[in-house]
Amino acid sequence: MLMPMSKRQLKFIVDSMLGDVARWLRMLGYDTLYFKDISDNQLISIAKRDGRILVTRDKTLFTKAKRKGLGVVYLGKAQDIIARLTTLYKYHSINLEIDPNRSRCPICNGILKHVEPWEVKGKVDNSIKERYSEFWLCTKCGKVYWKGTHWITIEKILLEVKRRIGVDREDLKEN
Ligand SMILES: [Zn+2]
């Protein structure tokens, strides 16, 4: 019998039409590759080489990957990020909580590290530094993250995904 894998051990490769999905999977903690310009054969060979789940909007690519026995998710019918995350959850029970301590950089897939406000001196505006006390730094590209106003949007999207799936009903009752 297979041992249950930690949800965050899943790895993905996302086709060039799904940049938003790549960013979200990284924020949710998944090692996710994304290239703006890549052929179907390259996507398939990287997925195979690394044991990555291929995520695509392309029906032909989906069929081709499936025939080769790869793990593949088809998102051709899912038009927005809520529908896309919901579908990914249905296939692979992806994690739906963002913990920045375990997130990947949405831009480069680098690992984030929690840093003290003095460590981001010169990297963010002083007004941001004064307003927020927690920061995360991408160890690869150097971009700094904090739970700014966009955080509310992120939480709302995840809440809507959970509502559609029907998980976390208890959380919803409290709101
Ligand atoms: Zn980065």
* 116-159 pLDDT per residue, tens: 999 998 999 989 988 999 999 999 999 999 999 899 999 999 99
173 C-alpha to ligand 1 centroid (Å): 36
Domains and CATH numbers, the chain: 11-100+149-165 (3.40.50), 112-145 (no CATH)
137 C-alpha to ligand 1 centroid (Å): 8
Per residue, the 3-state secondary structure of 65-98, as one string, reads HHHCCCCEEECCCCCCHHHHHHHHHHHHCCCCCC
Ligand 1 (ion): which residues have CB within 5 A?
A: 105, 107-108, 110, 138, 140-141, 143
120 C-alpha to ligand 1 centroid (Å): 15
CA-to-CA separations, 46 to 55, 63, 98, in angstroms, rounded = 12, 17, 26
32 C-alpha to ligand 1 centroid (Å): 12
139 C-alpha to ligand 1 centroid (Å): 7
pLDDT for 121 equals 87
Q: What does the chain come to in residues? A: 175
| pTM > 0.95: yes or no | no
The SS3 call for residue 132 is coil
Q: In the predicted model, what is the mean pLDDT of residues 55-61?
A: 97
